[in-house]
Amino acid sequence: MTAELRALAARNTVTVPMIGLGYSGTVTPPVIRRNVLENPAWYTAYTPYQPEISQGRLEALLTFQTMVADLTGLPVAGASLLDEATAAAEAMTLLRRAGRSRSARFVVDADTLPRTVEVLATRAAPLGIELVVADLSAGLPEGELFGLLLSYPGASGAVADPRGLVEEAHARGGLVAVAADLLALTLLTPPGELGADAAVGTTQRFGVPLGFGGPHAAYLSVREQHARQLPGRLVGLSRDADGNPALRLALQTREQHIRREKATSNICTAQVLLAVVAACYAVHHGPDGLRRIAQRAHRMAAVLAAGLRAGGVDVVHAEFFDTVQARVPGRAGAVVDAAHAAGIALRLVDADTVGVACSEVTTVAHVEAVWTAFGVGADTAALDAGTADALPAALARTSDYLTHPVFHEHRSETSLMRWLRRLADADLALDRTMIPLGSCTMKLNAAVEMEPITWPELADLHPFAPAADAAGTLAMITDLERWLAELTGYAAVSLQPNAGSQGEFAGLLAIAAYHRSRGEGHRDVCLIPASAHGTNAASA
């Protein structure tokens, strides 16, 4: 099977990912790749519903929560969600539950990632939420709203000060969520200090391979007063009568075995393995290391933009973090093709506009190759010395982050390796014994399945790369869809929902759409056996 997978992977064309759109090139530190991502003590472990056999993973997830809370400036963070788009959808429903506004309108910044807008629309429709996508450069649209989603930075790369919009939304009785780039928050004022009520995003660029789009752990953090509305898992620390510490899942009333029809955590799906990878990335680099990575990515973007301007190219935004949009009337396709020929994938925004995103893996050679694709040339060293940063001075971060000792104690590989071993020793996984719990989360991730996820041909493939570059991965997906259709007797199978709970929810939406197509939209009763999994009640 490995040989067959190798042959399929070889059909992919790996380019340097400079497309952006929420997916960034990253380096998984080898100590984390070998000791977490490729370690069955971590990847075969039971989802930590039973804390007494999950103390190691719960400590790693508490580290994840601390990382997110610190970087976003909001005190309560969950132990991860499925992906950024569904995390935004969870934030939308959280704001509706937590707020006092009776309005059904949820306003979304037009400079939000396209896939996030699409998922919000899918989730909003069956809940009776009116989704309003608007250009907010001139302020909020007229009328009431219960919530607002801002992007910081925007999908275009632009960094704008959101404080005025946050204040305006609050004045109208709405609550505000900010979709934020975690790495950018090492340099930018965090959402909590800007007045936001919640923050969402992905942790992909914290050492998690691109993998053609996922899975990647998302985050969601909130103000203290909204903690009980937080979906998914929340790890907390307790002490027994003797003062001994123990980690547990807090606010268990939200889980599937209690008040199932009112639970908030059953269709959002958490991640463990990849949340652990992201947390370990922060532990490995520490606050200073993360800041250096962010500064380097930003400098690459700033110098790139300066070189384009010097060559007569119109750069759309003056202030940005790592993503530059350049306007080349009628030439965007040619520029993207020229970059692709040089092994670099850029974003074709439209016929006149190209997007270029820098990251941890961007080099001076990549910047110079992009200039060549645009038909300009420049002296990188001279531009670096003479180009100012492109971040708004008014949004420069001044508050500390990652002050907990865990983010300072493991600067050597040996120290981090021993920490990871100590955590794994506090867990029960299939590398030790059978797990005596029946659950949809009890499974074996076989070595033949896990091995390919770190192959560069699969790990470094951007989800918005040209389809021809993903021929091997697409062949794998098509084959699996066809095999499952033949096995189940259905006409077609979709692998788009990337969790069982999401598949169940998508199935119910498909059934509802079928009834509407037959003029029977009034059929809105769903029968659920009392013995069913908790997701059944939550999805319905």
Q: What is the mean pLDDT of residues 322-330?
A: 98
pLDDT on residue 256: 46
- pLDDT digits over 148-171, tens only? 999 999 999 999 999 999 999 999
Average pLDDT of the segment spanning 416-434: 93
3-state secondary structure (DSSP) of residue 315: strand
Residue 445 has pLDDT above 50, yes or no: yes
**Tell me: the pLDDT tens digits for 77-106?**
999 999 999 999 999 999 999 999 999 999
pLDDT digits (tens, 9 = 90+) for 39-82: 999 998 877 878 888 999 999 999 999 999 999 999 999 999 99
What's the pTM? 0.95
Confidence band for 528, pLDDT divided at 50, 70 and 90: confident
Asked whether residue 174 carries a pLDDT value surpassing 50, the answer given is: yes
- The model's pLDDT over 259-283, given as tens digits with 9 standing for 90+, comes to 566 665 556 677 899 999 999 999 9
Under 8 Å between Cβ of 207 and 27: yes
Burial degree of 132 (CB within 10 A; 0-12, 13-18, 19+): middle
Q: Is the pLDDT of residue 288 over 50?
A: yes
What is the Cα–Cα distance from 406 to 410, expressed in whole angstroms?
7
Output the DSSP codes for 266-312: SSS---SHHHHHHHHHHHHHHHHHHHHHHHHHHHHHHHHHHHHHHTT
pLDDT band at 254, cuts 50/70/90? very low
Q: Please choose, from the candidates 232, 235, 229, the residue with its C-alpha nearest in 3D space to the C-alpha of residue 271.
A: 232
Top pLDDT among 292 and 538 is at 292
Share of the chain above pLDDT 90, in %: 79
* Residue bearing the bigger pLDDT, 525 or 434: 525
Burial class, 296, CB count within 10 angstroms (exposed 0-12 / middle 13-18 / buried 19+): middle
Q: Is the pLDDT of residue 372 over 90?
A: yes
Position 502 scores a pLDDT of 83
pLDDT tens sequence across 109-120: 999 999 999 999
Question: So what's the pLDDT on residue 231?
Answer: 86
What's the pLDDT at 241? 85
Q: How far apart are the first and last CA of the chain?
A: 39
- Is the model more confident about 281 or about 1? 281
- Chain position carrying tokens 């939420």: 129
pLDDT for position 263: 60
CB 30 within 8 Å of CB 437: no
Length, in residues, of the chain? 540
Q: What are the structural domains of the chain?
A: 27-237+251-283+403-449 (3.40.640.10), 293-395 (3.90.1150.10), 457-539 (no CATH)
Q: Distance of CA 73 to CAs 185, 205, 251, 381, Å?
A: 9, 19, 22, 35
